[in-house]
Amino acid sequence: MLSLNQDGSFLSADCINHSYTLPRQSFWKAAERRQVVRDVSFRLAPGERVGLVGMSGSGKSTLLRSLLAIEQPDSGNITCQCKAVEPASVPALRWYRRMVQYIPQDPASSLDPRMTVAALVAEPLIRLHVDCDHVQRAQEAIEQVGLDQQFLNRRPGELSGGQAQRVAIARAIATRPAFLLADEPVSGLDLPIRAQVVAVLKSLSENNGTGLLIVSHDLSVVANLCQRTMVMDDGRIVEDRATQDLLCDPRHARTVELINAVPPLPKPNRPRLS
């Protein structure tokens, strides 16, 4: 059974603040700091699909790095299964990496061109010491993202953009995580392929009970996938409501801008890539 925080959430963030030191403008002037995340708090329930949207520079990517335990916030706490989440050694964070996996924006940057798809999907299982049949688990993961077994022997250079993103998703789900954190997971894909990848993510969540946090500037993607949406502006969460309520009755100017910025995402015509 999945262990939860005392408040019933799977992952929680409390009063997160994060700032960066800016380049010095002059030898004689002290370096300044820019705050990019300001007093952010939220809860993620088991199996919940949540969108985190905002314009470039709103602070969402910095917040994501804190949730991934890549960077330490200046203040605040992130908690998962009643344990503090913060940057640490690989062995110390192995429990968290198994439970929370990351889907990158650009799969080409995370897929070693020298490795086969089978080896790439099995790699997290090896690194995180997951006790299972790695070959079988890789096959299952590939099938779950809608790719045939023949893809296991291919290398990243032989994949289309949509296929590479599906392989990145297969890598993320191989450990059978409770939550996936995705950074702009379809931003580099054509509209029809984007719709197919969104359908894959939604199917994984519904069939496996896997939670999703989708970080994006594209509200149309979030609207087709997420039950709840948080809007960030200038480092703060300015709206956090059910997605349909937010779309029908936006209460912040930034939300209105995001709604008006992107055309609707077309529905997928078929579940598998050619």
Quick: pLDDT tens for 135-167. 999 999 999 999 999 999 999 999 998 899 999
What is the residue type of 212? Answer: L
Residues of the chain short of pLDDT 50, as ranges, are: 265, 268, 270, 274
Q: Which fold has domain 11-20+34-261?
A: Rossmann fold (3.40.50)
Tokens 């030898």 label which residue? 27
Whether the CB-CB separation of 203 and 150 falls below 8 Å is answered with: no
The arrangement of strands across the sheet holding 75-80 comes to 33-44, 11-21, 75-80, 83-84
Q: What is the pLDDT of residue 274?
A: 45
Whole-prediction pTM value?
0.89
d(CA 10, CA 19): 26
Closest CA to 67 of 83, 54, 86, 51: 86
Domain range annotation of the chain: 11-20+34-261
